[in-house]
Structure 1
Amino acid sequence: MTIRSTHVLPPQLIGEALHVYACKWLPFIKVKSSGSSSSQTEESKEKNRKVLETIVSMIPADKGSVSAGFLLRLLSISSNLGVSTVTKTELIKRASIQFHEANVSDLLYPSTSYLDQKFYDIELVQVVLESFLKFWKRISTGAGDNKHYLLRSITKVGKLIDSYLQVVARDDNMTVSKFVALVEAVPAIGRLEHDDLYQAINIYLKVHPDLSKSERKRLCGILECQRLSSEVRAHAVTNDYLPLRTVVQLLYYEQEKESNAATSTKVQKPLELLLGAKKRPATRDSHGKQSLGLDKEEFKRGEITRRASLAESREKSQQKTKRLDDKLALDLEKKMVIRENKEESMSGSKLNLDHKKMVQRTRSNKSEYGSEKRR
């Protein structure tokens, strides 16, 4: 009450005092574990609930008076204590406004549904993310000079979610549907490049090798080839964890990109020659009359040259496209052969092992039969 009645203190100082108070009276705020709350008695739980609700009610309304990490911690604790809906809603609102200031470590809390700390509270992150997006859409309408700030804030949140996905991808309890839902919650404007998302998907595929074909297809279907850097695309093409369909899309994109680059380079040269000729300054003839820099014959010759150059570049582009198609088919054939050889080697080793067992059983049966016959 002393803090509330003092109106001269800056909001940041009040927020720091509340943080210290929370660390003293809510000691389990330092430990990211749901097990501490389960061992509490109802009396201590009720006491901590009142302390938490009091702290939330005393947080200054000024943005930045407390950190986003502190708000997210209070929100995680509120789920364990069962605080009122009003208090929880206020925490979600405050945390979402400052969500772009959070770090990955601020999001790593265990789910209240499990005692194992390996299982992260994905629902908490989803709720705050949804609230942030609603707030962002509301203030982005007629933002004016704040458009740059809004774009920076949503791209920060996109990077935050992708970094968070790289951590929770190692969670055995993370299903494909939860993973994809969290990815798709971020709008396209918040994820201008997919390199971090590719890393998260790659980690998930390695940790969950038993995914079905449809699950792998759904997981990799959220990747966009044009949003990957050239280095990441080069790695993805050789990644055996990716579905073959995704690899084909990457190869076709590389082929189309190279073909377009070659065509634009060759078409640009004759156009530059023509434009340079058109910009030639006007001259005057012997009678003092103004004439164009190009006469009709010269213009016709330039037009014929331009058309011939365009036809030649088009033909060369078609030839290069055909070579790239052949190369793509060869790369796909090699990849299929490698996968088939792996599968055949695995099945062959099993058959060889079964054959050895059959030979051993036959020999043992023969020896037993011979010993009985001698008797």
Structure 2
Amino acid sequence: MTDECCEGNLANLTHGFITQVALSTLSGAITVLKTCEDLLSVTQQINIVNQCIEVISAKACDEADFPSCLPPNCWAEELAKVQINFFQKIIESMKSRGAKALTIACAITTYVKRSLPDIVFDRSASTIKSPISDDSLTSKHKQRQILDSIVAILPDETRQPVFSINFLCHLLRIAVLLENTGDCKRKIEKQIMAILEHVTVDDLLILSLRFENERLRDLECVRRIVTGFVEKEKSKSVICYVDFDQTPSPAMARVAKTVDAYLREIARECELSVSQFNGIANLVPKSVREVDDCLYSAIDIYLQVNADVRLAKENEKLKNELKRMKMYVIDMEKNHKTGYKTKKPTFFSSVSKTLGKLNPFKQGSKDTTNIDDQIERTKPKRRRFSMS
């Protein structure tokens, strides 16, 4: 079969056909690579796998920059047909060729939607179908491996979004559901944190959705993401010598408004505890809120839904009022009892005593004719009266 026996044998002809015909188009190269999945050890020895990956990455970059077919992202649909290990190598090869971040993001988004189709959120329904089921062709372990591989090749987070934040929130929700590693979830959270100013209430609600068989409410994800974003905005204001409390950035103001609206939505849930409600409400500083109407509305909704909390709050107010009344009554009783006892000298009483010592009438004559007029007058003689 090789040229060692005779020239133009099967091995040489096969290699020439693959190189000149099969690898001449993107779809042809994808087909050859897929056939290598079952003969991986053999194809790696004759270097067909690496050759296919290089051809596919080169043609995918060309199609992304200069589309020659419709729809324009048909190249991404072709890449989504291969196994995750091959796809990962193709993306790395595209990065080495200088592919744009938006091109990489398009390929990854398409692949995730094809390999995990239930990740797409149905906005018309109040729940989304869990991608984990007994009838699923792909096991939970394999899905976890796919997501780990996808997250590993995500472009570094930038302020300019390359992924939609809605997609990233779905990705994080699936990572929580599949119980992926903490590093995997933290990398997605950083991606969301970098573009949080574009988040909507629906995006944050994705992280608190109900699944068919279980109720997942991971408010901790929201807390970490918003807290990280606030800390980053504070550090930026310090670098720019700007008072964060006095002049918050437009991005911070938008996030604060969205968080308040999100709190108003989840306030209707009976499972939301008081500590969780307060935790979400205090995620953004008070100084960055332009208005507090949405926050007050959330508090009102929460108290209406959670009647026991409202009653507890009213009882606490009543207890405080009773304590004040009790202290008032005790003070009144003390004053009443001490009213009959000798009072302690006060300032006014000491002044009265001092003035009393200076009273000219306290001792001596009661004659007032020579007081304050500075006129000398002879004192009347004292007469002795006798009775005869």
**What corresponds to 2:155 in structure 1?**
60
Which residue of 1 is the match for residue 185 of structure 2?
Answer: 88
Contact 2:128/2:211 (8 A) holds in 1: no
CA distance in 1, matches of 2:277, 2:113: 33
Q: Does the aligned pair in 2 maintain the 1:110–1:116 contact within 8 Å?
A: no
Task: Tell whether the 8 Å contact from 2:101 to 2:155 is kept in structure 1 after alignment.
Answer: yes
* CA spacing shift, 1:83–1:197, aligned 2, 3 Å: same
Partner of 1:16: 106
The 1-side partners of 2:253 and 2:306 are apart by 28
Letter in 2 for 1:45: K
Please give the secondary structure, in 1, of the residue aligned with 2:239: coil
Does the CA-based 8 Å contact 1:96-1:132 persist in structure 2?
yes
Give the structure with the larger helix fraction: 1
Unaligned runs of 5+ residues in structure 1 are 222-244, 246-375
Q: In structure 1, how many angstroms separate the alpha carbons of the residues matched to 2:252 and 2:188? A: 20
Task: Work out the CA distance in 2 between the residues paired with 1:5 and 1:19.
Answer: 17
Map Cα deviations across residues 79-130 of structure 1 (whole Å, 9 max, x no partner): 1111122211111122112112111111113658975777643222112112
CA distance in 2, matches of 1:217, 1:181: 23
Give the alignment partner of residue 275 of structure 2, picking from 170, 177, 180. Answer: 177
**Preserved CA contact (<8 Å) 2:257 2:289:** yes
Counterpart contact for 1:69–1:106, Cα < 8 Å: yes
Largest Rg, 1 or 2:
2
Kindly tell me: are residues 145 and 134 of structure 1, through their superposed partners in 2, closer, same or farther at Cα, counting changes over 3 Å?
A: closer
Match of 1:4 in 2: 92
Query: RMSD of the TM alignment (CA)?
Result: 3.3
Distance 1:107 1:216 in 2: 32
Counterpart selection for 1:25 from 115, 123, 129: 115
Q: Please, which runs of 5 or more residues in structure 2 have no aligned partner?
A: 1-88, 122-126, 322-388
Q: Does 1:160 align with 2:258?
A: yes
Cα distance in 1 for residues equivalent to 2:207 and 2:155: 28
Change (3 A) 1:37 1:150: farther
Looking at structure 2, the residues matched to 34 and 131 of structure 1 have their Cα atoms a distance apart, in angstroms, of 30
Q: Secondary structure at the match of 1:185?
A: coil
Q: Quick one: distance in 2 between partners of 1:69 and 1:86? A: 20
Contact 1:72 1:107 (C-alpha < 8 Å) held by counterparts = yes
- Provide closer, same or farther for how the CA distance between residues 115 and 180 of structure 1 changes in structure 2, counting only shifts above 3 A: farther
Structure 2 match to 1:133: 230
Aligned to 1:76: 173
Distance 1:25 1:155 in 2: 37
State the secondary structure of the residue aligned to 2:281: helix
Residues 237-256 of structure 1 deviation map (CA, whole Å, 9 limit, x = unaligned): xxxxxxxx9xxxxxxxxxxx
TM-score (norm 1): 0.51
Cα separation, 2, equivalents of 1:119 and 1:83? 15
2:198 aligned partner: 101
Query: What is residue 219 of structure 2 aligned with on the other side?
Result: 122
C-alpha distance in 1 between matches for 2:235 and 2:135: 41
User: Partner residue of 1:50?
Assistant: 145
Query: How far 1:21 moved relative to its partner?
Result: 0.9
Q: Deviations over 1:298-319 (max 9, x none)?
A: xxxxxxxxxxxxxxxxxxxxxx
Q: How big is the shift at 1:190?
A: 2.6
Q: Give the residue type in structure 2 aligned to 1:8.
A: G
* Amino acid aligned to 1:175: S
Within-5 A mapping of 1:308-323? none
Report 1:194-205 matches (<5 A).
194-205=292-303
**Structure 1 pair 42/141, CA: closer, same or farther in 2 (3 Å)?**
farther
Decide whether the 8 Å contact of 1:34 with 1:110 is kept in 2.
no
In structure 2, what is the equivalent of residue 325 of structure 1?
none
**How many residues of Structure 1 are paired with residues of Structure 2 in the alignment?**
220
- Matching residue's letter, 1:86: D
Q: Identity of paired residues, percent?
A: 27
| Per-residue deviation, 1:168 | 0.6
- Tell me if structure 1 keeps the 8 A contact 2:102–2:162: yes
Alignment partners' CA distance in 1, 2:102 and 2:111: 14
Maintained 8 Å contact 2:151/2:188: yes
Whole-angstrom CA distance in 2 between matches of 1:124 and 1:107? 10
- Report the TM-score, using the length of structure 2 for normalisation: 0.50
Distance 1:158 1:120 in 2: 21
| Aligned residue in 1 for 2:85 | none
Report the alpha carbon displacement of residue 212 of structure 1 after superposing the two structures with TM. Answer: 3.9
Please say if residues 165 and 192 of structure 2, whose CA atoms lie closer than 8 Å, have aligned partners that are also in contact.
Answer: yes
Q: Alignment partner of 2:291: what SS?
A: coil
Q: CA deviation at 1:43?
A: 6.4
